[in-house]
Amino acid sequence: MPRPSRRREVPDLAVTCSGYETEEAALTDPVLSIRILSPSNQAETRSNVWAYTTIPSVREILVVKTAAIGAELLRRNPDGTWPKRPVTTESTGLVLESVDFRTPLPALYRTTRLARP
């Protein structure tokens, strides 16, 4: 009898603040999950983003766009709930509270074709 498959939603990048072993198959206790949104994977990415909200340790989920400078950020509320919609950022600063990171959003694109002169 075949075993049921265990589907894992794998982000493009995940950050943890707890220790881990390099041999681990999956990162335990991620606090930040980042997905890269390309035109060909929009439906899958959107589905995965909401799957990450079920991970108790995740505090923020960032979706970085590739067709234009922009990002969407979901941040867990202090009461543990998630907002119904992400905050969209196109030209302002990006703040990731979970890892105490701040940068102007265009800086993420500085080596891409989307960079402005």
- Give the domains, in start order, of the chain with CATH numbers: 13-18+27-109 (3.90.1570.10)
Residue in the block written with tokens 């709930």: 81
**Residue 45's pLDDT band (boundaries 50, 70, 90)?**
confident
pLDDT of residue 5: 38
Alpha helix segments (H runs only) across 1-117: 42-52
pLDDT of residue 94: 94
Higher per-residue confidence, 101 vs 13: 101
Residues forming beta bridges with residue 26, ordered by sequence position: none
Predicted TM-score of the model (pTM): 0.84
Q: Which residue did the predictor score with more confidence, 1 or 93? A: 93
Q: 57 pLDDT exceeds 90?
A: yes
Q: With CA atoms as reference, report the closest residue to 62 among 29, 19, 95, 17.
A: 95
Output the pLDDT for position 1.
44
Three-state DSSP at 65 gives: strand
The average confidence (pLDDT) of the chain is 85
The label of the residue with tokens 């060909």 reads 40
Using only C-alpha atoms, what is the Rg of the chain? 15
